[in-house]
Structure 1
Amino acid sequence: MLLFSDCKINIGLRIVSRREDGYHNIETVMYPVRGLCDALEILPSGRPGVEFFSSGLPVDSPAEKNLCVRAYRAVSEVCPLGGVRIHLHKAVPMGAGLGGGSADAAFVIRGLCELFSLGLSVGEMERLAAGIGSDTAFFVADRPALATGRGEVLSPVSLPLAGYRLMIVKPQEFVGTAEAYSRVVPRMPDRPLVDALAAPVGTWRERVANDFEPSVFLRHPVLASVKETLYRIGALYASMSGSGAALYGIFDREVAVPDEFADMFVHQEVIG
């Protein structure tokens, strides 16, 4: 079985309040990026348990801690599974706020459900995924969604983005998620995010913000520079995704990659 686990961008990200469990309540729209994917091969092995291999971009964790392995173990706790070999070919940058690892875990859950005919519902798979990571459940249905709670409470949304062009830029920077949360002050938004996103894309610059940006940009000024460049070359809307370090721009026309991005990861696609 060969699966292509895509990634996501956050369109608006509000840190609403701190929870008693140490997490934060957020409000964000997650939007799938179909053209930027990892590849997952899941094969029956004839041996008990899971064997994990990786290629492509270096994976910075031991196999037993990889989210793909954790996904297998989460499913095995509720359903009988045979042994499998999982090969992950990594193409989505890590530490980017694009949810690549979370997508891999969700697609493993989906793949195991199909491979072993488990009959799990979308809701059951989402509950398993939510136990692995806050944004992992999003990739089970893998469709645009308003995410609340700690990111696992999902409501489908419709945004008129088909046909626009997307550019994702990942500088050689790392932003720790825990660090990013520690430097942001939660606040209750004055109106729902979906109301702001109902306005034309060209107005989002004044209406739709990522609450991580002020503190992250202060410590990582190159990220602020990337966002400024995206607007300079014509982005209708530009933002950091998640807690960084990737940024993206939404364009209504094709644009060339500027020289400033020469040593950075850049991905472009037409939004479907």
Structure 2
Amino acid sequence: MIMSSNEHKHEQEELNSTTRLPSPIRKSVSKYVKCGLSHTQIKSSLVQDHPNAPITETKLTNLVSYESRKDRPEIFSVFDLRNWCDEHNEDINNIFVFFTTKQLFQQIRPTTYLQVDATYKTTWNELPLLVFGSTDATRHFKPFGVALISHDENAKCYNQLFTSINALAAQEFNQPCLIDHVMADGALGITSSQTVFPHSPRMMCWFHMIQKCRLHRNLVTKEQWWITKLPCWYEDAAFGKPSTNNGC
């Protein structure tokens, strides 16, 4: 009996010394994550549901991250994507994958200024990633979503991006986007796809403009500059709105 008592006491001590958050809190966090609450909302809910429980920010962050990953699908590589395309008779060289969430895309509803850019350094497969969003009055960029493409930037992929944005807005808000300005670099594909937003001036990113002018000012004639091809390149071309995609 003594041995049994000591063994039980030992197990109880081990249980008490755990660094995990208490089980009721873990269950609550799991429930909140499944409901789609943000980290801030989860924290506020825990304060109300467990007012006397000490919850450290680090433990809560780790737990939310763990619960968020539990039901996520397996991460696939380009090799897996190629196999999937072969099995479904799809052309992997003509892939367009649009990623967003309801929470992210809700931000586009009051937006009239769309900023678009492409990066090749985000994905380890070096596939182009189109990033679109807008900058608020406090100079914080708000992403609305991304699109993964399997080829270089061209008018077709940007046309598909803008069309997808409009279609999703119509689906979610029962109205098209209110975009009246499109900010980007000098990519010709973006300019050629302006038919989706025909009444939106094509804004040229000020940072890219200055960068290219300094690099090529002695190599080309003034007639070849972006000043004539993309006339909205200067600061305040759209009054009160960002003049660059590279910070404000």
Which interval holds the TM-score relative to the shorter structure? under 0.3
Q: Which has the higher contact order (CA 8 A, sep 6+)?
A: 1
Tell me the TM-score normalized by structure 2. 0.25
Q: Which has the higher helix share?
A: 2
Structure 1 or 2, whichever has the larger Rg, is 2
